[in-house]
Structure 1
Amino acid sequence: MKVNELKIGVILSYFQLILGNIISIIYTPIMLRLLGQNEYGLYNLSSSTISYLGLLSFGFGSAYIRYYSKYKAKKDEESIRILNGTFLIIYSVIALITLLAGIILIKNIDVIFKNGLTQNEIYKSRILMLFMVFNLAISFPMSVFLSNITANEKFLFQKLVSSLNTVINPFVMLPILIMGYKSIGMVIATTVIGIINSGLNIWYCFNKIGIKFKFRKIDFSLIKEISIFSSYIFLNMIVDQINWNVDRFLLGTYKGTSAVAIYGIGSQFNTYYMNFSTAISNVFIPKINRIVSESDNSVELTEIFTRVGRIQFIILSFILSGFIIFGKYFIENIFAGSEYKMSYPVALLLMCPVTVPLIQNLGIEIQKAKNMHKFRSVLYFLIAIGNLFMSIPLCKYHGVIGCAIGTSITMILGNCILMNWYYHKKIGLDMLYFWKNIVNFIPGLIIPIISGVIMIFIGINTIGRFLIMGIVYIVIFLISIYKISMNKYERQLFIEPLLRTKAKFIA
C-alpha cells in the first residue's frame, strides 16, 4: 500500500507542479489588473517581510520526520508520543514568540518603510501583516500534524489537499478582487483557507493515523539533539530568505511598492524556472543515498550526477532560451502589462546564473548523503551576507536592476565557481567530465539560437506572431537537440512516451 501511495504521490507532485504553474500563469495577470501595481507591490512586500519570521521554525520540520522514522522503525510508540508532545510544545512556544515579534514589527513599520511607503500604504500594510503574522503563528503548531502525515507517507491525502488548494484558490480570490476588497480581502481569504486545511490535517491525523501525544515527560536531551541536527538547515533557511526576499525588502525601503511589484513578477518567473529542475532531481534522492551507503562509488555518482544534469540542461535551456526570445512580449502584452517591462531583465538576471546550480542540484543530495553539506551551508551564508551588503547601494542607485545584479553576482561567485571547486576537490565528483558533457550540447543549440535571433529581428508584436513563432521555435529546438546533442539514453527517454501514446491510439 505504501509503495502505491508513494507512486501516486510522485505522480500527483508532478501534476500539482504543472497544474499550479498553468493556473498561476492564467490567474496572475487577472489578479495584477484587479489589484493594480502599487497594491500588488504592497501585498508582495508585506508577505516577504513577514516571511522572515518563518525563520523562527529553525528547520525543526526535517528533524521531526527524521526522528519519527527512527522511532517508527524500532516500533517505539512511547518515544513517538513524547516526540509528538515535545514538538507541539516547541511549536506552540514559537507561535507565541512569532505573535510577539510580529506585533513589534507591525508597530515599527512606519520607521522601517518611511522613505518607501505613503501613510495610506503603511496603514494598509499593518492590516495585511497582522493577518499574515496570525497565519504564520497558527501554522507552527499545525505543522506537527502535517509532518506526521508526511512521516507516515500518506502522500495521497497530502497531495490531494494541496492540489485542491491550487485549484480552489483562484476561484475564491477572484470574486473577492472583483468585489473590490483587494489585498486585505485576499489575506482574509488566505486565513480562512489555512484554518480549513489545518482542520483537515488534524482530523486525518486523529481519525486515520491515530496520532497520540505525551506531555508529561519532555526529553530535553532530544531537544538538544534536534537543535544540533537542525542548525545547518536553519542556516540554509537564512540564506534563502536573504537571497530571495531581501531585494523586495530593500526596494520597499528605498523605492516604494511599484518597484517591489516589478521585482516580484521577475522573481515569480525565476520560481517557475527553479521548480521544473527540482521536480526531476527529487526522484533520484533514494538512489543517491543507497549508492553512498553501499559503496560510495565516485565514478557511479559522477555518472548519475552528469546524466541527471544533462536532462535538466535540456529542459532548462529550452525554457531559458524561449524566455529570452518571447519573454519580453509575454510579460508586457499578455501576462502583466507594459508597466512591468523591467520585470523582463530582472527575470533574466535571476534565471541565467541560477541555471548552473539547477543542473547540479542533485549534488546537494550527494553532499547530504555523504554528510558533507556543512561547507555549502556556511559558504552560502557568507555569500548571502555579501549579497545583502552589495544590494543596498545597488538598490539605492539602480533600483530593481541593481538588486537583481547583486543577487546575480553572488550566485555566480558561490554557485557557479566555489561550489564546482568543492564538488571536484572534496566531494569526489569529476566536474571536468560533467562540464565536457554539458558543453557537448552547444552544437544543438546553434540552430535554435539563430532562429530566435531571426524571430526577434522580424519582430514579435502580435499575439498571432507570438503563438506561431513559439510553435516554430519549439519544433526547431526539439529537432535540433534530438538530432545533434542527445545521446542514445536521452533519445530513448524522449521517444518512449510518444511511442506508448501512439500505441494506445492505434490499439
Structure 2
Amino acid sequence: MKVKVNQLKAGAMLSYISMGLGYLVSIIYTPIMLRLLGQSEYGLYNLVASVVSYLGVLNFGFGSAYMRYYSRYKVQDDREKIATLNGMFLIIFSVIGLIAVIAGTVLAMNTEVIFGSELNSTELSIAKIIMMILVINLAISFPNIVFSSHITANEKFVFQKLVQMIKIVANPFVVLPLLIMGYGSVGMVIATTMLNISIEIINAVYCINKLKMKFSFRDFDFKLMREMTVFSSFIFINLLIDQINWNVDKFILGRFHGTVSVAIYGLAAQLNTYYLTISTAISGVFTPRVHRLVASENNNELTKLFTRIGRVQFIILSLISSGLIFFGRPFINMWAGENYDGSYPIVLLLIIPVTIPLIQNIGIEIQRAKNMHQFRSWVYFFIALGNLGLTIPLTKMYGGVGAAIGTAASLIIGNGFLMNWYNHVKVGLDMKFFWKQILNFVPALIAPIITGVIINNLFNLNRIFIFTGFICIYILIFAVSMWIFGMNRYEKDLIGKPIKKVLNRLIRRI
C-alpha cells in the first residue's frame, strides 16, 4: 500500500513539474513557432486540427471502460480475464484506427466542401496534406490507449509523467529545425507524428516487458463487449460534446471569417487547454482510489475526497485566472504579438466559466465509477446543441468573441447549475458542504484583487521588466493572503512538509 501512496504523491508532483516544464517550453517555443509559421498558416493548422479531432470520438470512451473492468478483474486476481480484456481492447482500438484512416481520407478528399470559400487554393492544398498526416497520427494513437490505460490502472504514474516530460522537452527540438528550413505546418505535423509514435512504442514496451502485460485473442467476450458498449455510450456522448464545445468554434470561424480569425481564437484556445490540464493533473492520479471508494459505498469519504481535491484545484486555478485577468493582455501582446490582442477577451470568456467544472472534475470519475454518468451526458448533449445554435449567429456578428460567448453560456448553465444539483441529489455528494468550503476562500482573494486593480490603473505593463516584477509581487501577495486567510491545515501541509524535509536534509548535510 505504501508504494501506491508514493506513486500517487510522486505522480501528482511530477504532473505539476511536467506542466511547469511544458509551460516554460511553450513560453519559449510558441512565439518562435507563431512567427515562423505566420498568422494565416497557424490558423490553417488550427482549423484542420479542429476537424480531425472529431475523429477522436471514435474511441467511443472505451478507455474509461477499460479502467472499470480492469479494476474489477484485478480485485478478483483473474489473470485470464485481464488477458482477454487486453486482447479485446487491442482488437477494438486497431479496428477503430482503421476506420479513422478511411474516414479521414474521405474528409481530405473533400476539403473544398468542408472549409468553404474563405480558403484559397494554396491553403486548401496544404490543408489536405496536414489532414492526412494528422489522421495517420490519430489512427496510430488508438491502439496505444490500451497501453496508456494499463499504465494508469496499475498506478505507474512516475513512469507515465517522466515519459510525458521527455515528450514536452523533445517536441521543440524536432519541430523547430523543420520550421526554420521552411517546411511550415506540414513539417510541424510530420515531426509531431514521429515523436508521438516513438512515445507510443515506449509505452507498449514498458507494459509488455515491465508490467508483464498479457494478451489473449482466443475468447472474444461478446457479452462483456455489449456491457462495455452500454457503459461507454454515454462517455462517447461526453466526448462528442467536448468536441462541440472546444472545436466547433474554430470550424465555424474558418467558414465565416477565414484563417486569421481562427488563429486568434486558436491561441486563446491553446491557453485554455493549458488551464484545463492544470486541473486534471491532480484529479487524474486519484481515479483508481475513486473506484475503490465507490466499491466500498462510502459517500462520506467520497465527498471529503471530492472537496479536498476541489479546494486544492481552486487555489491553483484562482491564481492563474485572476492573474490572467490582470496581466493577460500585456502577456499576449508581448508573447504572441500585437496582432493576437483579440485573443485576450476570448480566453477570459473561456477560462472563467470553465473553472466551475474544473474544480469538480473528480466528480465525473465518481459518476462513471457509480455508472451514473448518463444524466450528465444527456444534459451536456442538449446544452452543446444550444451552444452550437448560439455560436453560429454570434460568430457571424462578433467573430471569435461571439463564438466564445456561446461556449461560456453552455458551461455556466450545464456545470454551474444542473450538474451541481445532480451531484447533490442523485450521486450522493454533499454539494452544500463543497461550496461552503470553496466560499471560505473569498477573504483570501480580496487583497490580490485590490493589488491587481491598483497595478493595472497606475502602471504600464507593456515593458517586460515592469511586467515581470509586478507578476512576482502579485503572486507573493496572493500566496501570503491565501496562506493566512484561505488554506486549511491539510493544504498548508502539502506545501510545508516537503519544504521542511528539504530544509532538514540541507541542515544535516551542513
If the length of structure 1 is used for normalisation, what is the TM-score?
0.92
Measure the CA separation in 2 of the matches of 1:289 and 1:60. 16
Question: 1:216, 1:283 → 2: CA distance?
Answer: 33
Are the equivalent residues in 1 in contact too, given 2:394–2:403 (CA < 8 A)?
A: yes
Structure 2 CA distance for partners of 1:367 and 1:142, relative to 1, 3 Å? closer
Query: Alpha-carbon deviations, 1:131-182, whole Å to 9, x = none?
Result: 1111112222343344444445444443333221111111111111111111
**CA 1:384 to 1:44, structure 2 compared with 1: closer, same or farther past 3 Å?**
same
One-letter amino acid matched to 1:319: I
1:358 is matched with which residue? 358
- What is aligned with 1:107? 109
The whole-number CA distance in structure 1 between the counterparts of 2:487 and 2:203 is 45
Check whether the contact 2:153–2:288 (CA below 8 A) recurs between aligned residues: no
Which residue does the alignment assign to 1:179? 181
Q: Distance in 1 between matches of 2:287 and 2:71?
A: 17
How far apart, in 1, do the equivalents of 2:442 and 2:74 lie? 49
Q: Give the Cα–Cα distance (whole angstroms) in 1 for the partners of residues 9 and 493 of structure 2.
A: 22
Partner of 1:443 in structure 2?
443
Q: For structure 1, which segment, 144-153 or 190-199, has the greater mean C-alpha deviation from structure 2 after superposition?
A: 144-153
Number of the residue aligned with 2:330: 329
Q: Which residue of 2 aligns with 1:340?
A: 340
2:142 and 2:441 mapped to 1: Cα distance? 45
Letter in 2 for 1:310: R
CA RMSD of aligned residues (A): 2.5
Alignment CA distance shift 1:309-1:249 (3 Å): same
Give yes or no for the alignment of 1:13 onto 2:10: no
Closer/same/farther in 2, CA of residues 464 and 234 from structure 1, 3 Å limit: same
Q: Label 1:448 to 1:158 Cα distance change in 2 as closer, same or farther (>3 A).
A: closer
> Which residue number in structure 1 is paired with residue 68 of structure 2?
66
Aligned to 1:115, what secondary structure does the other structure show?
A: helix
How many angstroms does 1:338 deviate by?
A: 0.3
* Deviation sequence 1:480-500 (CA, Å, 0-9, x none): 222333344444444434434
Task: State the SS of the aligned residue for 2:119.
Answer: coil
1:428, distance to aligned residue in structure 2 (A): 3.6
1:181-200 aligned within 5 A: 181-200=183-202
Aligned-partner residue type, residue 197 of structure 1 = I
Question: Which residue matches 1:503?
Answer: 504
- Describe how 1:197-346 pairs up with structure 2 within 5 A: 197-294=199-296, 296-298=298-300, 300-333=301-334, 335-346=335-346
Q: What's the counterpart of residue 427 of structure 1?
A: 427
Q: Check conservation: 1:455, 1:469, Cα contact below 8 A.
A: yes
Q: Tell me the CA shift for residue 230 of structure 1.
A: 1.3
The residue correspondences of 1:339-418 to structure 2 (distance < 5 A) are: 339-418=339-418
Aligned-partner residue type, residue 345 of structure 2: P
> Does the C-alpha gap of structure 1 residues 289 and 257 become closer, same or farther in structure 2, counting only changes over 3 Å?
same
In structure 2, give the amino acid aligned to 1:471. C
* Cα gap change, 1:135 to 1:297, in 2 (>3 Å): closer
List alignment gaps of at least 5 residues for structure 1.
none
Q: Hey, what's the Cα distance between the residues in 1 that align with 2:46 and 2:213?
A: 37
**Cα deviations by residue, 1:425-449 (Å, 9 ceiling, x for unpaired):** 3334343333333333222222221
Q: Which amino acid aligns with 2:358?
A: L
Do 1:116 and 1:253's aligned partners in 2 also have CA atoms closer than 8 Å?
yes
- Tell me: CA distance 1:172–1:365, structure 2 relative to 1, closer, same or farther (3 Å): same
Task: Report the counterpart of residue 470 of structure 1 in structure 2.
Answer: 471
Q: Is the 8 A contact 2:45 2:130 kept in 1?
A: yes
- C-alpha displacement of 1:502: 3.5
Q: Which moved further from structure 2: 424-433 or 347-356?
A: 424-433
Relative distance call for 1:157 and 1:402 in structure 2 (3 A) is same
- Cα drift, residue 66 of structure 1: 3.3
- TM, length-normalised to structure 2: 0.91
Does the C-alpha gap of structure 1 residues 144 and 183 become closer, same or farther in structure 2, counting only changes over 3 Å? same
Distance across 2 between alignment mates of 1:2 and 1:236: 33
Residue in structure 2 matched with residue 484 of structure 1 by the alignment: 485
Q: 1:207, CA displacement in angstroms?
A: 3.8
Say whether the 8 Å CA contact 1:2–1:153 is kept in structure 2.
no
Distance 1:180 1:351 in 2: 34
Change beyond 3 A, Cα 1:210–1:250 = same
Equivalent residues of 2:268, 2:347 under 8 A apart? yes
- CA distance 1:427–1:166, shift in 2 (3 Å): same
1:287-344 superposed Cα distances (whole Å, 9 cap, x missing partner): 544444435344x5444433433332222221111111111000001x2110000111
Whether the aligned pair in 1 keeps the contact of 2:16 and 2:278 (CA below 8 Å) is no
Name which of structure 1's ranges 135-144 and 318-327 shifts more when overlaid on structure 2: 135-144
Shift in alpha-carbon separation, 1:94–1:485, aligned structure 2, 3 A: closer
Q: Contact (CA 8 Å) 1:40, 1:183: kept in 2 or not?
A: yes
Shift of 1:83: 3.1
C-alpha displacement at 1:357, in angstroms? 1.5
Q: Superposed, which structure 2 residues align to 1:45-56 within 5 Å?
A: 45-56=47-58
In the alignment, the residues of structure 1 paired with residue 396 and residue 272 of structure 2 have an alpha-carbon distance, to the nearest angstrom, of 23
Please give the residue correspondences for 1:29-44 in structure 2 after superposition, counting only pairs within 5 Å: 29-44=31-46
Counterpart residue identity of residue 139, structure 2? A
State the shift of 1:349 in Å. Answer: 0.3
Q: Percent identity over the alignment?
A: 56
Task: Check whether the contact 1:387–1:406 (CA below 8 A) recurs between aligned residues.
Answer: yes
| Residue type of the alignment partner of 1:309 | G
For 1:108, give the aligned amino acid. N
* Cα pair 2:276 2:358 within 8 Å, conserved: yes
Q: C-alpha deviations, 1:393-434, integer Å up to 9, x for none?
A: 111111100000000011111111112222333334343333
Question: Aligned in 2, Cα 1:162/1:480: closer, same or farther, shift over 3 Å?
Answer: closer
What's the offset of the Cα at 1:50?
Answer: 0.4
> How big is the shift at 1:42?
0.9
Cα deviation per residue 1:96-143 (whole Å; 9 max; x = unaligned)? 221211111111110121232111111100000011111112222343
2-side partners of 1:70 and 1:282: how far apart? 19
Aligned equivalent of 2:100, options 98, 109, 123: 98
In structure 1, C-alpha distance between the alignment counterparts of 2:67 and 2:284, rounded to whole Å: 17
Deviations 1:7-52 (A, max 9, x none): 5544433332222222122211111111111111111111111011
- 1:137 corresponds to 2:139: yes
Query: Which amino acid in structure 2 is aligned with residue 359 of structure 1?
Result: I
Q: For the structure 1 residues 39 and 189, does the alpha-carbon distance in structure 2 shift closer, same or farther, using more than 3 Å as the test?
A: same
Give the direction of change, closer, same or farther, for the CA distance of 1:295–1:57 in structure 2 (3 Å limit).
Answer: closer
